[in-house]
A and B are shown apart, each in its own frame.
Chain A
Amino acid sequence: MSESVSDTPPLPETSQTEAELAETGAGFATAVEHAAPFVGRPAAAPANVVGRRPRRGDFVYYGLRNKKLVVGVSLEILFIALALIGPFLAKYPPNALVGPGLSHPNHTFWLGTTNLGQDVFSQVVSGLRMSYLVGLLGAVCASIVGMALGFIAGWRGGIIDEIIQLFTNVLVMLPALVLLIVVGAYLQNRTIFFEGVFIGLTTWPWVARAVRAQTFSLRSREFVDMAKLSGKRPLSIIAKEIAPNMASYLFLVIILLFGSSMLLAASYDFLGIGPTNLVSLGSMMNNANQNAALFFHLWWWFIPPGVLLTGMVAALLVANVGLDEVFNPKLREQ
């Protein structure tokens, strides 16, 4: 591809999405690219994909120079490392009663102990693993369902699109946490798999919306028409023309989903409707709260899990913004 710069450098094509907005009556699709795949916290979704495909060389060059991406990824790697090797550093099983209760952080117990005498550090690193696991499960599940439905809706259009949209909008309105409380009341034994799948099945609408908008936008682009005219079959068009352009966008969406899954799991675990008898960052905060950690100033019990979780998700968000800038030249600072 030549590097010729035309009179006015290419701007992200907004006309497609605006036309689509007009078609579908503004209200539904308007928020798509701006209401986040980051569940529940309204935030900016990744920007619209620029028509021109960035080359791999570009990625590395800009990627390494993007502060946000570098900082975010490095932090995240740190956390993941902690989750992986932490349990080997931890001397005790998370739930074992190993010391005097209510102790401050000290040499033996790096983050102190709970009211019963469990090692907080061991619990924290165990909980880290749980969080990543659930995050992964939720993100994968939501991505699969959301991408499939979103793509079908965007590609086929028509009545199939309307039905899927209806389904999506309905699901978004049902408060998932309340639903889980109700389900949890009947289902006494829950696994981490269940939690991950539940999160996936309740957050896929956000992915579907975003994927649908992108598909719509890309479907009517000129290069797809060209491919159709040249007689390529639909599957080939999807694989060669559409997928690469969507890939970067989807990647960003999945990262956001990963983060939101972790946060949702924290809320669910805090309320005790997470996996039964599993130590997680959310359940630690729950236990702390139930045992009057606030009153007894047991800050080491609930602050580390919270700070860690915030850090993990914030690193993802920042890396996400950085990655968005790498993919979309227009967002880069001059």
Chain B
Amino acid sequence: MRRFLSRKLITYVVAFFIGVTMDWGIPRLMPGDPIQSMLSKFSLQSASYTAQYNAFAAEFGTNLPLWQQYVNYWKGLFTGNLGLSVWAPPAHVTTLIFQALPYTLALLIPAITLSYIVGNRLGAAAARRQWLDNSVLPLGYILQAVPYPFLALLVPYLFGIVWKIFPISHAYNPGLLPAWNWTFVASLLDHWFLPFLTLFLVSLGGWAIGMRNLVIYELENDSSRYMRALGANEGVVRRYAYRNASLPQLSGLALALGVVVGGNVVTEIAFQYPGLGTLIFNAAANNDYFLLQGIFIFIVIGVLVANFVIDLVYITVDPRTRLSMQGSTA
């Protein structure tokens, strides 16, 4: 276990390091003057322009040597100071992030966990029953092949426009004032459902197919054959196969996170859902580089944390990593 975790931690540290460096480096390596483009959105007179320019330059640190800018960036990270937003002044970047965060989490967490759980069950069931397999498999492949944007347009079109069941943009009815009453919460849920459904559906197919193949493989492996040869109930054999198949699936979950985040961004933008995805998109559109950088590193941290959580779950499920391979044979 120690070996497993230490290797993982090294990866996380390196990933974080690379993420921060990328985040810091990209604006400085790109052609053009970032501060100038930031200010291009404002029509400022020359005096206020210069003043604003200098203020930003100071914040950015352009007059400092590169290595010092780098160090300052790290310092800023650890003190939680990600700068001020240009697009929505005078809000701190961190404030904006934390305002948007709950919406993104509200989409991501249920969508990922449910699609994983339901997909696994579906896949395992399909592995055992031919009739189910014949419908799950094609459906799964189609869902896998659907591009995120298409589903993000089709779902609201069908459910929102054609059948008029759900609203298709924003997090809640714009006419309402946020308050903890039932109307508001109901509106929240109402607006949440379609984006959640989109994110859920896209991942579902992949999990189902993956689990189906894994379970089929495990049902034919040596330990399953042995148990059948000793007269074990098929249900027992299936349970054991399922447990064995869960391990690579769990690893797959960790690997898929980076891309699910991407899908989330697409979904949020399609639904104008005010999460981190919409925020980063607006930041980019408005050349708000501080906000952009801040969100990027925040998302990176989020993915790393999620990976770590999955690692911990993996340890509890897989006895091999828990007990480590060293010195265990007599």
Contacts and interface: CB of A to CB of B under 8 A. Distances in A.
Interface of A: 14, 21-23, 25-28, 30-31, 33-36, 38-44, 47, 166, 169-170, 172-179, 181-187, 259, 262-263, 266-267, 270-271, 273, 281-282, 285-286, 288-289, 293-295, 297, 299, 302-303, 305-307, 309-314, 316-318, 321
Contacts of B325: 22-23, 25
Nearest to A44: B213
B304 A173 contact: yes
A299 B157 contact: yes
B157 A294 contact: yes
B321 A173 contact: no
Contact of B251 (A35, A182, A266, A302): A35
Contacts of B93: none
Contacts of A35: 210, 248, 251-252, 255-256
Given A26-B320, A42-B252, A178-B299, A306 B146 contact: yes
Contacts of A43: 144, 206, 209-210
A142 to B, nearest CB: 14
Contact of A179 (B248, B270, B296, B311): B296
B263 A40 contact: yes
B251 A27 contact: yes
B30 A30 contact: no
B8 A27 contact: yes
Q: Is the interface of A mostly helix, strand, loop or mixed?
A: helix
A177 B261 contact: yes
Given A27-B7, A309-B145, 15 more contacts: A25-B4, A27-B318, A28-B7, A42-B256, A172-B258, A174-B19, A175-B303, A179-B296, A182-B280, A187-B31, A270-B266, A273-B284, A285-B153, A294-B161, A317-B145
Chain B: interface secondary structure?
helix
A23 B314 CA distance: 17
Interface stretch (B10-18, B94-102, B171-179, B232-240): B10-18
Residue of B19, B203, B221, B251 with highest tally of chain A CB at under 10 A: B251
A270 B266 CA distance: 8
Contacts, number: 248
B203 A41 contact: yes
A296 to B, nearest CB: 9
Interface in B136-195: 141-142, 144-151, 153-154, 156-157, 160-161, 168
A278 to B, nearest CB: 16
A47 B307 CA distance: 26
A267 B320 CA distance: 39
B8 A310 contact: no
Contacts of A27: 4, 7-8, 251, 311, 314, 318, 321
B262 A31 contact: no
B26 A186 contact: yes
A40 B153 contact: no
Given A34-B213, A170-B14, A175-B300, A42 B255 contact: yes
Contacts of A184: 284
Contacts of A174: 15, 18-19, 22, 258, 300, 303
B187 to A, nearest CB: 20
A289 B206 contact: no
Contact of A310 (B146, B206, B212, B289): B146
Contact of B156 (A21, A267, A286, A294): A294
Contact of A285 (B149, B311, B318): B149
Given A176-B262, A182-B296, A42 B207 contact: yes
B296 A289 contact: no
A115 B156 CA distance: 20
